[in-house]
Amino acid sequence: MNVFGIDFGTTNSAAVALIGGLPVKIGHGDRPFPSIVAIHKVTGRVVARGFEAWQQRESLRETCEVITSPKSYLGSNHVWKIGGHDWLPLDIAAEVFKGLADKIEPVAGTVTEATVSIPVGFAPAKRRELRRAAMKAGIKISSFVSEPTAALLKNHDKVKMWTKIAVLDWGGGTLDISVVELMGKEVRELSAVGIPLGGDNLDAKIAEWAHNHHLKTAQAGVPFHEIDVKSRDRLLAKAEDAKRQLGNCEVTDIMLPSYGGMGNLKVKLTLDTMKSLLSPEIETVLDGLKQAVNSEAKMSFDELGCVLMVGGSSKLASLYERIVDLVSCEVIAPSPEADWEVAQGAAMLDHLQGAHVNNDNIGIELCDGSFFPIISKGTEVEHVSNSLNFGIVEDTQSACFNFYKAPGNAPLAFSGSSRRRVGSLVIPTNGFVNEAINVEYTIDPDLFLKVSARSDHKGQSATRSWEYDQLLFTYHLPLEGHQ
Ligand SMILES: Nc1ncnc2c1ncn2[C@@H]1O[C@H](COP(=O)(O)OP(=O)(O)OP(=O)(O)O)[C@@H](O)[C@H]1O
Ligand SMILES: [Mg+2]
């Protein structure tokens, strides 16, 4: 039976099918499937998806709403009112899944189940919407996997001579960095940092710069944020082209005829200008790497075997050099296979279909300093579920639970600075000594920790919950021949 991995990306989505154990890439020909949907403004029909929508986006905008980056809207209240219908982010995401399923069908048959990759710290609400979006396209998400971990699994052969590896996946919408440890056939996530910064933000910055530059010579004009949507989208597309071109040359022109009623836009962008324009974002990437390695995994850069760079934005001119300057280990630049790596890692996991093993130690501390471990490393996710009963010891109107986790490979200490607070939950109480508080916790099938507390006294009950979406896991690698 074929198994599938899907990388539902902000800019590009991709699928990999394992057919007879061998990976087959599915997108648009040899390119991934752009996460773009064009919907007719009057009829509300989906006119184009993926590559067709991307290629014809300028002309399609006459008759259609062309929606890009739907992933970044998941979990929000955004609504597109098109052709008399309300389109929610999950409806648009479902169209991307449908487009991908149509591409998969002739190559690998109907896709009914797949493992889907998600960014680090993808909120539970976003996971639920992604699951529903896939379901609307007939695809049951068998499991989620973190995007950098999926990329690591795909590249295991390339990096297996090292023990500790930082994976830096910088895409169109998010920057995801994980530190993983390889122990024989085990891959252990030691830390994960997710930052909502991607190529879309860089394009916006370049577009605004070009707009302001043009304003200096235009007869009249409006500020960038007041420009009409169509002109802004056209300029964003040109900014993206320029950003890519400056990977291979020193200077490029951003040109747009009849730009928003402000004449023809023609602005020269040099590599040096782009580097200084985007230097705050590059600093954010370097800070994210320091956070993942030093603060979260509690390691020095000397302990790192390599940094594996994946994702389209990792190709940004000058990022590689900046990372080489920062670390003392090998740095692997994005490969030509970059568009497929995450989907292929997800497909490898789909093939495994084994239990997820937790790689976190998390515990609860009460206001009086007493400490209760709740989840520990090596436990199968299915077995993390429990109910604890507490009683308050003094006349108080609230009870507070603080959640701590151990960094990197450290055991969870009952006290001390090595543990880190990751959240808290405060529940109102009724001020009676010995008042009972019940705390239940479980790991949801969408792979986040769900804790709910309930206080109850003489019919006056209150419930509060806390969700933690940055759990770390351990994976056992697939058999040889499935990579
Ligand atoms: N040569 C290049 N230089 C700079 N940026 C590039 C280059 N090639 C592609 N990109 C950028 O990479 C981004 C797309 O990368 P990728 O396909 O990895 O993202 P994604 O998987 O869709 O997004 P995410 O993982 O954040 O959801 C786009 O913003 C694109 O402009
Ligand atoms: Mg991606």
Secondary structure (3-state) at 110 = coil
Whole-number Å distance, alpha carbon 184 to ligand 2 midpoint, is: 27
- How is domain 1-145 classified at the architecture level of CATH? 2-Layer Sandwich (3.30)
Best residue among 174, 246, 313, 342 to mutate for probing ligand 1's pocket (most ligand atoms within 8 Å of CB) is: 313
**pLDDT, greater one: 260 or 63:** 63
CA–CA separation, 269 vs 16, rounded Å?
A: 37
Expressed in angstroms and rounded, the spacing between residue 404 Cα and the centre of ligand 1 is 34
Residues of the chain above pLDDT 70, percent: 98
Per-residue pLDDT at 237 exceeds 90: yes
For ligand 1, whether the C-beta of 70 sits within 6 Å is no
- Is residue 146 within 6 Å of ligand 1 at its C-beta? no
Across the range 22-38, mean pLDDT stands at: 95
Q: Which of 324, 209, 193, 183 is nearest to 278 (CA)?
A: 209
What backbone phi and psi angles, to 5 degrees, belong to 301? -65, -25
Whether ligand 1 lies within 6 angstroms of the CB of 312 is answered as: yes
The dihedral through the CA atoms of 187, 72, 7, 205 has a sign that is: negative
pLDDT of residue 480: 59
More confidently predicted of 306 and 219: 306
H or E element at residue 22: strand 22-26
Percent of the chain with pLDDT over 90: 78
Mean pLDDT of 66-74: 97
Q: Ligand 1 within 6 A of 243 CB?
A: yes
pLDDT tens per residue across span 82-104: 999 999 999 999 999 999 999 99
pLDDT at position 82, please?
96
Angle between helices 89-108 and 124-136 (to 10 degrees): 50
481 has pLDDT over 80: no
Mean pLDDT along residues 417-444: 89
Instruction: Please tell me if the CB atom of residue 236 comes closer than 6 angstroms to any atom of ligand 1.
Output: no
- Whether the per-residue pLDDT at 42 is higher than 70: the answer is yes
Q: Which of 58-67, 260-269, 407-416, 455-464 has the lowest mean pLDDT?
A: 407-416
Q: Could you tell me the residue ranges of all domains in the chain?
A: 1-145, 199-277, 357-475
Beta pairing partners, 424: 402
196: which 2 tokens? 């909502």
Pocket test residue of 6, 10, 147 for ligand 1, highest count of atoms within 8 A of CB = 10
- For 373-392, the pLDDT digits (tens) are 899 999 998 888 899 999 88
283: confidence class by pLDDT, cuts 50, 70, 90: very high
CB 154 within 8 A of CB 111: no
Q: What is the helix (H) or strand (E) element at residue 343, kind and residue range?
A: helix 338-352
How high does pLDDT run on average in the chain? Answer: 93
pLDDT band for 217, please (50, 70, 90 cuts): confident
**Which mutation among 6, 8, 11, 177 tests ligand 1's pocket best, with the greatest number of atoms within 8 A of CB?**
11
Fold of the 199-277 domain = Actin; Chain A, domain 4 (3.90.640)
Helices (H), 109-228: 124-136, 147-154, 156-159, 199-215
The answer to whether the CB of 172 is under 6 A from ligand 1 is yes
Rounded mean pLDDT, 229-254: 94
pLDDT value of position 444: 94
Whether the per-residue pLDDT at 205 is higher than 50: the answer is yes
Grade residue 482 by pLDDT with cuts at 50, 70 and 90: very low
pLDDT in tens, 323-358: 999 999 999 999 988 899 999 999 999 888 677 899
Please compute the mean of the pLDDT values over residues 33-58 and round it to a whole number: 96
DSSP three-state, residue 4: strand
Q: What is the pLDDT of residue 478?
A: 60
pTM of the model: 0.94
The whole-number pLDDT of residue 317 equals: 83
User: From the CB of 174, is ligand 1 less than 6 Å away?
Assistant: yes
Tell me which residue of 84, 69, 83 sits closest to 37, measured CA to CA.
69
Which atom number of ligand 1 is nearest to the Cα of residue 175? 26
Chain-centroid distance of CA 362 in Å reads: 23
In this prediction, residue 483 carries a pLDDT of 42
pLDDT reading at 306 higher than 70: yes
pLDDT at 191 over 50: yes
411 confidence band (pLDDT: 50, 70, 90): confident
Q: Which helix (H) or strand (E) holds 237?
A: helix 229-245
Residues 5, 117: contact at Cβ < 8 Å? yes
357-475 homologous superfamily: Substrate Binding Domain Of DNAk; Chain A, domain 1 (2.60.34.10)
